[in-house]
Amino acid sequence: MKRIKLLALGCRLNEAELESWADAFYQCGFEIVSENAPADLIVINTCAVTAQAVRKSRQLLRRQQRNNPNAQLIVSGCLATLEATALAQERGVNLLIKNHEKDQLVETVSSHFSLNKKPIREDFSTPLFARNRQRAFIKAQDGCRFQCTFCITTQARGEERSRSRTEIVNIINRLQQFGIQEVVLTGVQLGGYGSDCGDNLTELVAHVLAVTTIPRLRLGSLEPWDLPIDFWRLFSDSRLLPHLHLPLQSGSDAVLRRMARRCKVQEFMQLVKTGRAQIPNLNLSTDIIVGFPGETANDWQKTLHAVEAAQFGHIHIFNYSPRIGTLAATLPNQIGTAIKYQRSEELKILAQKLKRKVLTDQIGQQVTVLIEGADTTSPIERFGYTPNYLPVHIKHLNAVGENRLIEVQLTELTADGDALLGITV
Ligand code: SF4
């Protein structure tokens, strides 16, 4: 039996692709091995979103080559797409599969190495999921038609293309058949779902909720524009969980214009207001780019103000780093490292304050938590997420295994104020 190792860096989409490849390889009789185990074939789904991501992808390639000198190395993902020529000439890379060829990766690998590509078993080998999480990422959409000036992903992933509703429902039913209780629909530009086939995200989600019995459905990151007016009604079904990740990136319209973002600050705030009015206990998270070229002190104050006004439960903070190949990397007035550092420290403090407020507002509520696994800080506790995607440590639950949905009373904040504590009811 061929041993295959599948590794991914970067976004949820890369992880979703890895999970579906692992399932397909497993059905074809391959043994899925872990990162440090010896393997006959190694597939690396690379990331190239930043210069640092490129470095990490290359380091992983070299480490796997060093530790598995006899293994066949297959490189896919954004680095394999953006730097194909260079990678193809690299010693030890046996096969390159670009992003637009990914959906055929299992067949391509099996043909290229003359291996079995016919499914010979039907069961499912979990855990497939990175970092022991218990929710499955499902690739619903790929590519993006927009051109944000800092973004290389739109170049690496190409035009928008959507998976059919039937395919998505079949994947969800198969995952549920093997005990998965929560799935996340993800994409490069998830809001663009259906733009290539006359469908849209609202109709997709409504369909999934109508024809499957999956207990919990989440949505991956959504650009804060083009959300259909009837999008909010979907959340009347409590299986669609009340958390949205809407990247704001900056609170200054002048900066958003230079980023070529399609949403002004006022429009974003209107979205927040509508969402909060329509969805009880909605938790919003976001991305903020710190130190985008030309960002003035006044722009920065506007960003802090917008973040405070939106009351985000969590903020991913990115210090802007020029990505060769993007328009923003050529813009004048690049901001110095010291200013970026000072501003991101300021934002971290604000983010912590807002997170603590959102967590505190949950105390006293009874919610259903999906157990992710053992709590690393305490053997008698378990760890999981609330429906609105807030971290909870649950006491005295050492006997309960992962992937269980349990009722929890939220009682207080953890000592560091970074999560909730709860007890079972
Ligand atoms: S919408 Fe998202 S994926 Fe598309 S170009 Fe902008 S940042 Fe990149």
pLDDT band at 133 (very low <50, low <70, confident <90, very high): confident
CA–centroid distance, 262 to ligand 1, in Å, is 10
Distance between CA atoms of residues 175 and 177, nearest Å? 5
- The boundaries of the domain holding residue 20 are 3-112
Question: Which phi and psi (to 5°) does residue 314 adopt?
Answer: -155, 140
CA 188 to ligand 1: nearest atom? 3
pLDDT (average), residues 49-66: 94
More confident position, 120 or 137: 137
Structure confidence at residue 425 (pLDDT): 87
Task: Tell me, using a 6 A CB cutoff, whether residue 221 lines ligand 1.
Answer: no
Show the 3-state SS of 100-132: HHHHHHHHHHHHHCCCCCCCCCCCCCCCCCHHH
Torsion angle in degrees (nearest 10) through CA of 358, 360, 366, 370:
60
Residues 144 and 205 in one domain: yes
Percent share of the chain, pLDDT over 70: 95
Q: Is the pLDDT of residue 391 over 60?
A: yes
Residue type, 408: V
Residues 41 and 108 in one domain: yes
Is position 126 within any domain?
no
Q: Is the pLDDT of residue 126 over 60?
A: no
pLDDT (average), residues 311-338: 96
Distance between CA atoms of residues 342 and 259, nearest Å? 21
More confident position, 34 or 218: 218
Residues 300 and 336 in one domain: yes
Structure confidence at residue 304 (pLDDT): 98
Rounded alpha-carbon distances, angstroms, from residue 108 to 47, 93, 97, 104, 105: 21, 15, 9, 6, 5
**CATH code for position 231:** 3.30.750.210
Q: Is the pLDDT of residue 378 over 70?
A: no
Residues 154 and 235 in one domain: yes
Is position 402 within any domain?
yes
Residues 164 and 101 in one domain: no
Is position 344 within any domain?
yes
Task: Tell me, using a 6 A CB cutoff, whether residue 153 lines ligand 1.
Answer: yes
Residues 254 and 352 in one domain: yes
Residues 251 and 314 in one domain: yes
CA 145 to ligand 1: nearest atom? 4
In testing the pocket of ligand 1, which one of 82, 141, 188 has its CB within 8 Å of the most ligand atoms? 188
pLDDT (average), residues 120-130: 65
Structure confidence at residue 181 (pLDDT): 93
Residue with tokens 């000439």, as numbered in its chain: 89
CA–centroid distance, 55 to ligand 1, in Å, is 22
Task: Tell me, using a 6 A CB cutoff, whether residue 225 lines ligand 1.
Answer: no
CA–centroid distance, 44 to ligand 1, in Å, is 23
Is position 418 within any domain?
yes
Domain boundary among 207, 241, 275: 241
pLDDT (average), residues 160-172: 97
CA–centroid distance, 24 to ligand 1, in Å, is 29
- Closest residue by Cα to atom 2, ligand 1, is 189
CA 157 to ligand 1: nearest atom? 3
In testing the pocket of ligand 1, which one of 13, 152, 157, 189 has its CB within 8 Å of the most ligand atoms? 189
CA–centroid distance, 374 to ligand 1, in Å, is 36
Structure confidence at residue 379 (pLDDT): 61
pLDDT (average), residues 395-400: 64
Structure confidence at residue 151 (pLDDT): 96
Q: Is the pLDDT of residue 89 over 90?
A: no
Q: Is the pLDDT of residue 420 over 60?
A: yes
* Total structural domains within the chain: 4
Residues 185 and 253 in one domain: no
**CATH code for position 288:** 3.30.750.200
Rounded to two decimals, what is the model's pTM? 0.93
Residues 260 and 237 in one domain: no
**CATH code for position 408:** 2.40.50
Q: Quick one: which H or E segment has residue 371?
A: strand 366-374
Q: Is the pLDDT of residue 308 over 60?
A: yes
Residues 7 and 54 in one domain: yes
Is position 120 within any domain?
no
Domain boundary among 313, 329, 359: 359
Show the 3-state SS of 170-199: HHHHHHHHCCCCEEEEECCCHHHCCCCCCC
Residues 71 and 144 in one domain: no
Among 150, 37, 151, 142, which residue's Cα sits nearest to residue 98? 142
**CATH code for position 43:** 3.40.50.12160
CA 151 to ligand 1: nearest atom? 8
17 CB-near residues (< 8 Å, 6+ apart): 8, 45, 102, 105, 139
Q: Is the pLDDT of residue 113 over 90?
A: no
Task: Tell me, using a 6 A CB cutoff, whether residue 190 lines ligand 1.
Answer: no
DSSP 336: P
Is position 125 within any domain?
no
CA–centroid distance, 155 to ligand 1, in Å, is 10
Task: Tell me, using a 6 A CB cutoff, whether residue 148 lines ligand 1.
Answer: yes
pLDDT (average), residues 336-360: 98
The CA-based angle 203-208-211, given to 5 degrees, is: 115
- Closest residue by Cα to atom 8, ligand 1, is 151
Do residues 224 and 286 touch, judged by C-beta distance below 8 A? no
pLDDT band at 377 (very low <50, low <70, confident <90, very high): low
Q: Is the pLDDT of residue 43 over 60?
A: yes
Is position 124 within any domain?
no
Distance between CA atoms of residues 425 and 403, nearest Å? 18
pLDDT band at 400 (very low <50, low <70, confident <90, very high): low
Number of helices and strands in the chain (H, E): 12, 18
Structure confidence at residue 10 (pLDDT): 92
Q: Is the pLDDT of residue 336 over 80?
A: yes
Structure confidence at residue 376 (pLDDT): 57
Bridge partners, 141 (sequence order): 162
Structure confidence at residue 397 (pLDDT): 62
Domain boundary among 174, 207, 241: 241
Is position 117 within any domain?
no
Residues 75 and 14 in one domain: yes
Task: Tell me, using a 6 A CB cutoff, whether residue 222 lines ligand 1.
Answer: no
pLDDT (average), residues 74-98: 94
